[in-house]
Amino acid sequence: MSVELVASRLDRAWALLDTVLDPEVPVVSVRDLGIVRDVIEREDGGMTVVVTPTYSGCPATEVIEQSIVDALEAAGLGPVRVEMRRAPAWTTDWMSEKGRRQLREYGIAPPGPVVAPMSAPLRFMPRQPPKSLACPRCESLNTERISAFGATACKALWRCRACGEPFEHFKPI
């Protein structure tokens, strides 16, 4: 098999993954969410897609896996296997800027960067919510957290005091 053909198949696979949407936030692709870690061409002509779920108990994992398989196999890139790789753990830092923009446009405040020194010892401390977030609708900083959890565990519920609209914040992890 020529290098050009392999590159072409891999490029096609990556491009198709841009069209596979997250089932819980259907405006962000699995690629822009940062959960697709690698696409590997196998000797049998199939592909393995390496995925790190947002968290180990994510209820959408099976739907995401099947959506990836369906998209790539429909394009003739199969057989496709999805390998769940839980280490290193997914972080919101893996999200693309496009994904963050899409969250904001959808009405969800995107996560900020996770700032953690790499050489620090592991300490379990409660996370402090941000003092305020920019409202994804009117951009006011006059906002408040009204619940630590939104529709899913990875989001918190906030309200804008300026425009009165509720919105979710995708928590940085």
Q: Give the start-to-end residue ranges of the domains of the chain.
A: 3-92, 107-112+130-170
Give pLDDT tens digits for 58-116. Answer: 888 999 999 999 999 999 998 999 999 999 989 999 999 999 999 999 999 998 877 65
- Tell me the pTM: 0.75
pLDDT digits (tens, 9 = 90+) for 119-130: 555 555 566 667
What is d(CA 94, CA 133) in angstroms, rounded to the nearest whole number?
20
The Cα–Cα gap between 10 and 150 comes to: 36
- Assess whether pLDDT exceeds 90 at residue 152: no
Q: Is the dihedral of CA 9, 11, 14, 17 positive or negative?
A: negative
3-state secondary structure of 66: helix
Cα distance between residue 71 and residue 78, in whole Å: 10
CATH 3.40.50.10310 is the classification of domain 3-92: no
